[in-house]
A = this chain, B = another copy of it.
Amino acid sequence: MSDGAPIDDLMFCIEELRSLDDDTLTASDVDHDTTRAVLEACARFATEELETLDADGDRLGAQWRDGSVRMPPGFRDAYRRYVDAGWQGLQHPAVYGGQALPQTTAAACAEIINAANLGFALCPLLTDGAIEALLTAGSAAQCRLYVPRLVSGEWTGTMNLTEPQAGSDLALLKARAELQADGSYRLFGQKIFITYGDHDLTDNIIHLVLARTADAPPGVRGISLFVVPKFLVDDQGRIGARNDVRCVSIEHKLGIHASPTATLAFGEGEGEGQGGRGAVAYLLGAEHEGLQAMFVMMNLARFRVGVQGIGVAQRAYRKAARYARERVQSRPVDGRRPNAVAIVEHPDVRRMLMTMRAHIEATRALAIHAASLADAAEVGLDPDGEARALYEFLVPLLKGYATEMCVDVTSLGIQIHGGMGFIEETGAAQHYRDARILPIYEGTTAIQANDLIGRKLLRDGGHIARRMAARIERVEHGLAAAGGIDHAAIRAPLRRLRLAFLDAVEFMLGRQHDNVNAIYAAAVPFLQMAARLVAGGLLARCALAATRRAGDGGDTDFLDAKRITARFYAEHIVAPAVGLRDVIIYGGNSALALAAGAF
């Protein structure tokens, strides 16, 4: 793998994992040459325009002053070039000015962009989410007004969920919206942790805000979704008066310093103490049904945050690999040379690099495969809904696994640098700091795991989980049929993990009524086990494809590395995950036995 973007591996995944393993389901309109050209253009842009700004963005950060945010040097120009080149519209409908490329292509580009500059990439991600929510819930007029300007990047979008007392628990939110005579609303309240809640990249920002209308029922059933533009616009999209939404501060964070994390005050602009007239707000979708639309947005965002994990991990891997090839230190342990060698020659450095690489290739396979299922469902190649259901099963796996692994992989990136890794100027530490938000935002790992258990596993009685396991079993048959040492070494742990997973599924289903606490205490280990199983199965498919391609005269170095990495993954990551079976089945009692006051 070179120092550039992993285009060969992305293309390999796109070509080989764009279907269920039995090839019954394939999105048809794939032109691999076009896809590769898009990825190459994306990589050029990311390297030249975004990666160059990343360290300064971290060092200088977004700056708040007098209610406005100023982005770090270079971000305005880079954003302009980003939208001028059409990157914002990549996967959005052509009717709104987008390029309508598949989710697989969009996911691959997102990995590349996030690797180059996570702080920058959050801005287009939030805009993508706002577009999805508008397309799902907006009226024709709302779509016409906002979507083209978001697709073009003329304006950006935000998601306003969190309040100080309402983080993971949206039932607790208090922001309120008052109906006006003209059918619009006035919105009051404070929202925190709003990514790109203010900035100087565009002339307007379209805030999507969750709030309660008068007499709304309590809890999540009483929540509605509103559009609140920073500047009011007429129905031609011309910008008018400033709306009553102010950025009162931004956070001082561990990482992603370039990305402004805003506290937004709605309706506090006038009338000190009592709040102002309220921010002008427009209902998006039906009253009290705001959460459904927000979930559409969140589902995409969760998938994309998983992809962020892959991108940041890939960046950390590249940096560590380069250092390991260049840093000379200590003689080889096997004495084959008398002098100090590059540390990439030392077995434990090799093990760390392989661990990073294997996790990255595994989660990349998971992301691209999941995106291909979404694509198949989108174009109508999913008559029984299985591709959609499997995609929804995979979203929490990807989000939970890829973000947690990113924390671990960026930590290994520091470790490979030794003492230099702890020095900020080296750059490895930034990735470690940036990565730490990923398992938190868009729903913590526990929230993903609860979603997996509650909505994806128990609700259908384990149906889709067992279907998934059956697919892995077919991959095992393929490995047996192909023969060879590598395939056998992959098959054995994969089979053990599949059987362990099925035991865990039965445990979850069996105890859902009499010991729900034990199930949820095991939810995160279950997610991590399931994710490694699916990713291990996909890497096994990659190994089989690599063997096939090598037989057809493909690039031997690349294909050998794919097979070896898949074997490493099976031996070092799949095999130990089998031990999670007993943690899941037997670990609940000791996890829950202490009284709350004992902590």
A52 interface residue per 8 A CB criterion: no
Instruction: Give complex CA distance A330, B520 in Å.
Output: 14
A297 interface residue per 8 A CB criterion: no
A575 interface residue per 8 A CB criterion: yes
Asked, given contacts A357-B599, A432-B254, whether A346 binds B571 with beta carbons under 8 Å apart, the answer is no
Residue interface mask A320-360, B partner, CB < 8 A = 1? 01001100111101110000101011111111011001000
A133 interface residue per 8 A CB criterion: no
Instruction: Give complex CA distance A340, B220 in Å.
Output: 13
Instruction: Give complex CA distance A195, B447 in Å.
Output: 41
Q: Which residues 443-480 of A sit at the B interface, judged by CB distance below 8 A?
A: 444-446, 449-450
Total count of chain A residues near the partner, CB < 8 A: 102
Question: Which residues in A have some Cβ–Cβ distance to B below 8 Å?
Answer: 1, 162, 165-169, 171-172, 192-193, 251-255, 321, 324-325, 328-331, 333-335, 340, 342, 344-351, 353-354, 357, 407, 411, 414-415, 418-419, 421-425, 429, 432-433, 436-437, 439-441, 444-446, 449-450, 489, 493, 516-518, 520-521, 523-524, 557, 561, 564-565, 567-568, 571-572, 575-580, 582-583, 586-599
Structural contact, A564 and B599, CB atoms closer than 8 A:
no
Structural contact, A421 and B440, CB atoms closer than 8 A:
yes
Instruction: Give complex CA distance A446, B489 in Å.
Output: 26
Structural contact, A345 and B422, CB atoms closer than 8 A:
no
Structural contact, A422 and B255, CB atoms closer than 8 A:
yes
Which single member of B329, B520, B599 contacts A1 (CB below 8 Å)? B599
Q: Closest CB of chain B to A509's CB: distance in Å?
A: 16
Asked, given contacts A321-B599, A330-B169, A561-B594, whether A429 binds B572 with beta carbons under 8 Å apart, the answer is no
Structural contact, A583 and B576, CB atoms closer than 8 A:
yes
**Cβ contacts under 8 Å, A252 to chain B:** 423-425
**Cβ contacts under 8 Å, A169 to chain B:** 329-330, 340
Asked, given contacts A598-B557, A599-B357, whether A429 binds B254 with beta carbons under 8 Å apart, the answer is yes
Which single member of B254, B331, B564, B590 contacts A568 (CB below 8 Å)? B590
Structural contact, A415 and B348, CB atoms closer than 8 A:
no
Structural contact, A520 and B557, CB atoms closer than 8 A:
no
Asked, given contacts A253-B423, A594-B564, whether A350 binds B521 with beta carbons under 8 Å apart, the answer is yes
Structural contact, A330 and B1, CB atoms closer than 8 A:
no
**Cβ contacts under 8 Å, A350 to chain B:** 521, 591-592, 594
